[in-house]
């Protein structure tokens, strides 16, 4: 159970990215986060694993207040939260397998990991995860030799190495073409349905949210604008979220 209570984030330049946002996410739900660019989706996701320090409010995960714990303790919590980025954020010059193994860094012996040593169990697991996202044969290529869709799948494999309970995804398909987008979203759906991961995923396209999400949360100017099932978003709601001039386009 993830509980967001009155979460507010104001950046140093005075920009208010999140304004008193509150909601709860029960375990194993697939939540899509929608809203215009700059509506605070990325900030919200990054506050949950404290890549960004919230200004005020609380985030409670499995009964623990994430906003109150020390930097050392947040490291231990982060291990159970996968994070997938729009730009994949792979180390492009490193091998695919190294990128995947780096998802294990929170668990392994820090001293050995400095010399690129990982237990053989972790190697097996990395290969298995690459196999699972369909790129088992690319393990020893350099990450930047792969296509965009393949790179995002490497990123998913890296997140899976963490044994996550919660997967945070920040526009995971915004840099991909429609067909590849569905491929990546299917893997996320698979993680949600089969492995029982809770998924909080920000999306540009409402059509994707309608296809994959159990629930849609919409942000507008940092405020919670809508919270409900995808089916509830009719034309009027859509215009409330995206503004009067917006027209729904979709990926089919």
Partner 1 sequence: MSEKQKNTPQEETRSALSRLVVVLAVAIGLIIYSYGWTVTEIDLSEPQEEQRQENVTRALRELLSPRLFQQEREVIEYDAPFLMDCTTGDAPQQAERNGSETIVIIEPACSDANEPITVQIINGTAGADARLRWIPPAEDGEDPRARPLEIIETEREDLVLDGSGGFTGSIEVPRIRRGEGQIHTLRVLVAIPAGQIEFSETALIVIDRMLQTIFMALVATTVAIPIASLISFFAAQNLMRRVRLTVGSMMMAVILFAVGIWLGSNFVSILGEWGLLVGQGDLFAPIGALVAFAIPIAVLVSVGWILARLQSVTDDSNSSAMQLLNTVITVSAVIFLLGAIGGLGTLGGEQITALGDSLRPAESDSIATGLQDAFGFSIWTIGNLLMILSEMVALFIRPITGVLTGFALASVGASILGNGLRRIRGVPSHVLAGIMGAIAGAILLVFLARIALWASLLGILPVLISSIIGGQVLSLIWKRLTRRRGEVGEIIVITNTQRAIEWVVFAIGAVGIFLLMFNTLNLGRTLVDGTLPPQTTVSLFGIDLGMTNYVFTAMLYGAILAGIGTAITGLQGTFPLGTLLYNTSRTSLNAVRSIEPLIMGLVFVIWVGIGPFAGVLALTLHSIAALGKLYSEQIENIDAGPIEALESTGANQLQTIIYAVVPQIIPPYIAFTMYRWDINVRMSTIIGFVGGGGIGLLLQQQINLLRYRDAGVAVLAIAVVVSVLDYASAYIRERVL
- Judged by the rule CB under 8 A, the positions of this chain that interact with partner 1 are 6, 8, 10, 14, 16, 20, 49, 51, 55-57, 70, 72, 75-79, 81-83, 85, 87-94, 98, 102-114, 119, 155, 158-159, 161-162
Nearer to partner 1, 30 or 118 (CB): 118
Q: How far apart are CA 70 and CA 11, in angstroms?
A: 21
Smallest gap from Cβ 107 to partner 1, in A, equals 7
Smallest gap from Cβ 177 to partner 1, in A, equals 20
Nearer to partner 1, 6 or 229 (CB): 6
Nearer to partner 1, 58 or 132 (CB): 58
Smallest gap from Cβ 91 to partner 1, in A, equals 5
Nearer to partner 1, 60 or 238 (CB): 60
Smallest gap from Cβ 119 to partner 1, in A, equals 8
Give the largest CA-CA distance in the chain: 57
Smallest gap from Cβ 112 to partner 1, in A, equals 6
Nearer to partner 1, 17 or 233 (CB): 17
Smallest gap from Cβ 215 to partner 1, in A, equals 23
Smallest gap from Cβ 47 to partner 1, in A, equals 13
Nearer to partner 1, 85 or 242 (CB): 85
Query: Which residues fall within 8 angstroms of residue 71, CB to CB, at 6 or more apart?
Result: none
Measure CA 50 to chain center: 13
Query: Which residues fall within 8 angstroms of residue 95, CB to CB, at 6 or more apart?
Result: 139, 140, 141, 142, 143
Nearer to partner 1, 97 or 241 (CB): 97
Q: Which token pair is 93?
A: 């010059």
């Amino acid at each position: 159970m993830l509980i967001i209570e009155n979460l507010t984030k104001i950046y140093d330049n005075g920009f208010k990215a999140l304004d008193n946002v509150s909601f709860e996410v029960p375990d194993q739900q697939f939540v899509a986060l929608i809203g215009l660019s700059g509506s605070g989706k990325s900030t919200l996701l990054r506050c949950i694993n404290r890549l960004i320090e919230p200004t005020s409010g609380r985030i409670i995960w499995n009964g623990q207040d994430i906003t109150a714990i020390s930097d050392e303790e947040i490291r231990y919590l982060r291990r159970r939260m996968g994070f997938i980025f729009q730009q994949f954020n792979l180390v492009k010059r490193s091998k695919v397998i190294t990128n995947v193994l780096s998802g294990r860094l929170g668990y392994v012996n820090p001293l050995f990991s400095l010399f690129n040593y990982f237990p053989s169990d972790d190697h097996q697991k990395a290969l298995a995860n690459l196999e699972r996202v369909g790129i088992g044969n690319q393990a020893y290529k350099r990450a930047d030799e792969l296509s965009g869709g393949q790179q995002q799948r490497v990123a998913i494999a890296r997140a899976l190495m963490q044994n996550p309970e919660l997967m945070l995804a920040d526009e995971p398909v915004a840099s991909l073409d429609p067909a590849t987008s569905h491929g990546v979203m299917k893997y996320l759906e698979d993680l949600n349905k089969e492995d029982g991961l809770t998924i909080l995923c920000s999306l540009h396209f409402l059509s994707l949210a309608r296809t994959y999400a159990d629930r849609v949360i919409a942000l507008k100017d940092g405020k919670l604008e809508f919270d409900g099932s995808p089916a509830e978003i009719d034309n009027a709601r859509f215009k409330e979220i995206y503004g009067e001039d917006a027209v729904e386009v979709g990926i089919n």
